[in-house]
Each structure stands twice: as structure tokens, then as C-alpha cells.
């Protein structure tokens, strides 16, 4: 859906993006992650055709944006990090005006605007002035604006910044919904813990270069190596120790006084599920069983540390 090949962007003497290649497929929510100045906004603006790359190619739905100048307008929705709002309009008027610019007929506009206000949790502010909205509310309104034309590809620059916890839950649900509709989403942020919840894949940038990209769980496994399991055993400790010792993904576990065992595990969710089934099937009374969640913050630090060392 979105394909970037060998992209390089220079600002005069300064190279902001080096040889970047990235694919975002249907239903994929890709987190573009990197510290300040890594080149995330430059990449997004280049995808939108707002910056001319030094070389490289951006394709949307299989067509180069340079071959079809209306492609971006038709197929890409962009939400900038600091959206400007100048006009003194009411929230619904702002969205209605935008829907009209996409030639959505007047007869359908009111229902579309109301549906999107509800989707982003802004129905209460329908008649409020846009200039008086808080930053988080403005972000919600801009998200509604971005979704109204039903674009195949969504580019969201820092969509969660300034948004309250309920707003982040709403954003997560909206992203799930657009992903289920088969759209491709590229979302930038430095709030790594949140990206962990929102994304199915990640692309980590450092000083204009893509250092790691792939499915969240795969990247995590590749970079972090193994994960850990924590199991609380109520009864059947000897069987527990034997089953874990026989499991090819688990590191050896030492007997201990307490009943919570933590050990390294070189497997994903499937393999952890298999181990739990073996434990329960083998008569071990398991009170709790948890796999450490993929942790982007740790991943990011690890990648950053590798790059810098
Ligand atoms: N118009 C410009 N002219 C010259 N250099 C620029 C310009 N815009 C960005 N840069 C530089 O390019 C690099 C990448 O900037 P960019 O805004 O793409 O980073 P970013 O990852 O989006 O950062 P942030 O997280 O702070 O938004 C930075 O070093 C920045 O100073």
C-alpha cells in the first residue's frame, strides 16, 4: 500500500534521510520511531510529495507519487504534529468544510461529520469554536478530519501527543478499526510505550537512517533475544521443574523456596501457550503465568546503544 525505496532527502548540505526503504502493507500499523531530528517528519513530508527527494521513490497503491500528482490527495490522509487552525469556525463547521472540499454531497455530510465526531469522542464539542479547543481535543478533531475522506493510507505525526489517557484508548481503538478495514498506517512518535500498544510493526530511525524494521514481535525477538516467563506454581513443583527442563525454549530453572519462578524463554506467544498447556496437562497447579510484554522502550535503548557504540 505504501512503499518507499532507497529514499534520500537533503536540506542543502545536510542529509536528513539516507537510503530509506520501507513497506507498509494493508492492515499494518507501523510505528516510525526515533529521537528528535531522526528524520521522521521529513520522511512523512516526502511521502506526501511536499519535499522533493534527492533520489528514491515513493509508491502508494503501487503507483509512484511522481507519476500521478493527484494520488496523494486521493489516497493518503495526513495528520500533522502541530495542526494549524486559523479560522474561527465551530468544530462541526470545520469538519463539514473539509468534507465539502472532498466533494462529499451536502445531504450526506452532517451524518458523516457526526459519525466521525463520535468516533474520536468529540460529540460534546460539536458546537464549540475550534480555536478554543485544548491541544488533545484539537488532535482528536484533526484525526476525525483525516479519517473523513476514507483514505487507504494514513500518516499520523505524533497523534497521541497532548491526548489524555481516554484519548489514547480511543486512538488505539480507532487504529484497530482502520487496520481491520485494511488501511495502511504509518504513525510517528517518541512515546515508545504507547507505540507498543498501537503498532503491529516498527521502523526505528536514527540520524536519518532506518536501523531496524519489521513486525513488532519479530523485531523484539531479534533485538532483545529471548523474553522471560514468570510462573506461580501452587502444587506439582517437581513436575513443573521436569517439564520446563524438557522444553527446548526454556532456560534451566533452579528449585527455590517461594512459588514464583522466573526464567528466560526463547519463544513467542505460541511456544509459551504450548508450555502452559504441557504444565496444566502434566498436573501442575498454575496460579499465574505471564510472558514479559514486548517492550519498545527497552528495544529502542538497545538499538540506540548499538548504533552509538
Ligand atoms: N527545512 C529544513 N532545513 C534544514 N534542515 C532541516 C529542515 N527540516 C528539518 N531539518 C533537519 O533535518 C533533520 C531531521 O528533521 P525531522 O524534522 O525530519 O526530524 P524528526 O525525526 O521529525 O524530529 P522530531 O521528533 O523532533 O519532530 C534534523 O536534523 C533537522 O534539523
Pocket probe mutation, ligand 1, options 7, 8, 11, max atoms within 8 Å of Cβ: 11
Residue 69: the pLDDT is: 84
Band (308; pLDDT cuts 50, 70, 90): very low
159 and 82 both lie in a single domain = yes
- Asked whether residue 198 is domain-assigned, the answer is yes
- Asked whether residue 256 is domain-assigned, the answer is yes
Residue 82: the pLDDT is: 74
- Asked whether residue 61 is domain-assigned, the answer is yes
For helices 165-180 and 135-147, what crossing angle results, to 10°?
A: 10
CA distance 96 to 21: 37
136 and 233 both lie in a single domain = no
147 and 186 both lie in a single domain = yes
Average pLDDT over the chain, rounded to an integer: 87
Residue 151, judged by CB atoms within 10 A of its CB (0-12, 13-18, 19+), counts as buried
Say which CATH number the domain at 189 has: 3.40.50.300
Give CA separation, 155 vs 102, 151, 183, 302, 308, in Å. 18, 10, 11, 26, 29
The per-residue pLDDT for range 173-202, each reduced to its tens digit, is: 888 888 999 999 999 987 666 677 788 998
Q: Would the pTM count as exceeding 0.80?
A: no
CA distance 289 to 48: 45
Q: Looking at ligand 1, which residue's alpha carbon is closest to its atom 28?
A: 37
- Asked whether residue 304 is domain-assigned, the answer is no
Pocket probe mutation, ligand 1, options 18, 39, 44, 206, max atoms within 8 Å of Cβ: 39
Considering 164, 199, 221, which residue would you say is the last residue of a domain? 221
Residue 262 grid cell: 522466573
Residue whose cell numbers read 520522511: 43
128 and 210 both lie in a single domain = yes
**Contact assessment for residue 232 and residue 286, using Cβ atoms and an 8 Å cutoff:** yes
**Contact assessment for residue 186 and residue 159, using Cβ atoms and an 8 Å cutoff:** no
Residue 295: the pLDDT is: 60
Q: Looking at ligand 1, which residue's alpha carbon is closest to its atom 25?
A: 36
> Rounded to the nearest whole angstrom, what is the distance from the C-alpha of residue 216 to the centroid of ligand 1?
25
Residue 161: the pLDDT is: 77
Atom nearest to 39 CA in ligand 1: 18
> Rounded to the nearest whole angstrom, what is the distance from the C-alpha of residue 236 to the centroid of ligand 1?
58
Residue 192: the pLDDT is: 63
Tell me which of 51-65, 82-96, 216-230, 263-277 is least confident.
216-230
20 and 107 both lie in a single domain = yes
The per-residue pLDDT for range 204-215, each reduced to its tens digit, is: 888 899 988 888
- Asked whether residue 309 is domain-assigned, the answer is no
Q: Residue 214: which domain range?
A: 2-221
The per-residue pLDDT for range 245-271, each reduced to its tens digit, is: 999 989 888 777 788 998 888 887 888
Considering 174, 203, 221, which residue would you say is the last residue of a domain? 221
CA distance 141 to 159: 11
125 and 246 both lie in a single domain = no
Extended strands (E) in the chain: 2-11, 14-24, 29-33, 55-60, 63-64, 76-79, 153-157, 184-189, 201-206, 209-215, 227-235, 260-265, 285-291
The pairing of strands 184-189 and 201-206 is: unpaired
Residue 127, judged by CB atoms within 10 A of its CB (0-12, 13-18, 19+), counts as exposed
Say which CATH number the domain at 247 has: 3.30.70.100
Buried b (16+ CB within 10 A) or exposed e, 291-305: beebbbeebbebbee
- 3-state secondary structure (DSSP) of residue 190: coil
Report how far apart the first and last C-alpha atoms of the chain are (Å, whole number). 35
21 and 104 both lie in a single domain = yes
More confident call, 85 vs 228 = 228
Residue 304: the pLDDT is: 59
Give the residue-averaged pLDDT of 11-20.
Answer: 93
The per-residue pLDDT for range 216-232, each reduced to its tens digit, is: 877 766 666 667 889 99
136 and 253 both lie in a single domain = no
60 and 11 both lie in a single domain = yes
Residues in contact with ligand 1 by the CB-under-6-Å rule are 11, 14, 16, 34, 36-42, 190
More confident call, 182 vs 138 = 182
Pocket probe mutation, ligand 1, options 33, 37, 161, max atoms within 8 Å of Cβ: 37
**Contact assessment for residue 122 and residue 140, using Cβ atoms and an 8 Å cutoff:** yes
The per-residue pLDDT for range 70-80, each reduced to its tens digit, is: 889 889 999 88
More confident call, 168 vs 298 = 168
- Asked whether residue 50 is domain-assigned, the answer is yes
The per-residue pLDDT for range 101-135, each reduced to its tens digit, is: 888 888 999 999 999 999 888 999 999 998 888 88
Residue 31: the pLDDT is: 93
CA distance 218 to 181: 23
- Asked whether residue 306 is domain-assigned, the answer is no
Q: Residue by residue, what is the 3-state secondary structure of 49-88?
A: CCCCCCEEEEEECCEECCCCCCHHHHHEEEECCCCCCCCC
Give the count of domains, the chain.
Answer: 2
Q: Is this complex's ipTM strictly greater than 0.90?
A: yes
**Residue 289 pLDDT greater than 90, yes or no:** yes
More confident call, 167 vs 3 = 3
231 and 194 both lie in a single domain = no
119 and 268 both lie in a single domain = no
**Residue 297 pLDDT greater than 70, yes or no:** no
Band (309; pLDDT cuts 50, 70, 90): very low
154 and 46 both lie in a single domain = yes
- 3-state secondary structure (DSSP) of residue 37: coil
> Rounded to the nearest whole angstrom, what is the distance from the C-alpha of residue 16 to the centroid of ligand 1?
7
Residue 225: the pLDDT is: 64
Considering 221, 250, 284, which residue would you say is the last residue of a domain? 221
Q: What percent of the chain has pLDDT over 90?
A: 50
- Asked whether residue 131 is domain-assigned, the answer is yes
Amino acid at each position: 500500500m505504501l512503499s518507499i525505496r532507497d529514499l534520500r532527502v537533503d536540506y542543502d548540505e545536510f542529509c536528513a534521510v539516507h537510503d530509506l526503504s520501507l513497506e507498509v502493507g494493508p492492515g499494518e500499523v507501523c510505528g516510525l520511531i526515533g529521537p528528535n531530528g531522526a528524520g521522521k517528519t521529513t520522511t512523512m513530508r516526502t511521502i506526501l510529495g511536499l519535499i522533493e527527494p534527492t533520489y528514491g521513490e515513493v509508491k502508494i497503491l503501487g503507483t509512484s507519487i511522481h507519476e500521478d500528482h493527484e494520488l496523494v490527495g486521493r489516497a493518503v490522509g495526513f495528520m500533522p504534529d502541530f495542526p494549524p487552525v486559523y479560522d474561527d469556525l465551530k468544530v462541526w463547521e470545520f469538519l463539514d468544510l473539509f468534507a465539502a472540499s472532498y466533494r462529499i454531497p451536502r445531504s450526506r455530510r452532517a451524518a458523516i461529520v457526526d459519525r466521525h465526531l463520535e468516533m474520536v469522542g468529540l460529540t460534546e464539542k460539536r458546537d464549540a469554536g475550534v480555536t478554543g479547543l485544548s491541544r488533545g481535543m484539537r488532535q482528536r478533531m484533526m484525526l476525525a478530519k483525516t479519517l473523513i475522506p476514507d483514505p487507504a493510507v494514513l500518516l499520523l505525526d505524533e497523534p497521541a501527543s497532548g491526548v489524555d489517557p481516554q484519548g489514547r484508548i480511543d486512538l488505539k481503538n480507532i487504529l484497530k478499526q482502520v487496520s481491520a478495514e485494511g488501511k495502511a498506517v504509518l504513525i510517528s512518535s517518541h512515546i515508545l510505550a504507547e507505540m507498543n500498544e498501537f503498532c503491529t510493526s516498527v521502523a526505528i530511525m536514527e540520524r536519518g537512517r532506518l536501523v531496524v524494521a519489521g513486525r513488532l514481535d519479530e523485531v523484539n525477538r531479534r533485538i532483545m533475544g529471548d523474553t522471560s516467563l514468570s510462573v506461580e506454581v501452587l502444587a506439582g513443583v517437581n513436575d513443573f521443574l521436569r517439564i520446563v527442563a524438557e522444553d527446548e525454549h526454556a532456560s534451566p530453572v533452579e528449585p527455590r523456596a517461594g512459588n514464583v519462578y522466573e526464567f528466560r524463554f526463547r519463544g513467542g506467544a505460541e511456544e509459551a501457550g504450548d508450555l502452559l498447556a504441557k504444565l496444566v496437562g502434566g498436573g501442575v497447579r498454575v496460579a499465574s503465568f505471564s510472558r514479559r510484554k514486548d517492550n519498545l522502550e527497552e528495544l529502542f535503548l538497545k538499538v540506540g546503544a548499538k548504533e552509538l557504540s
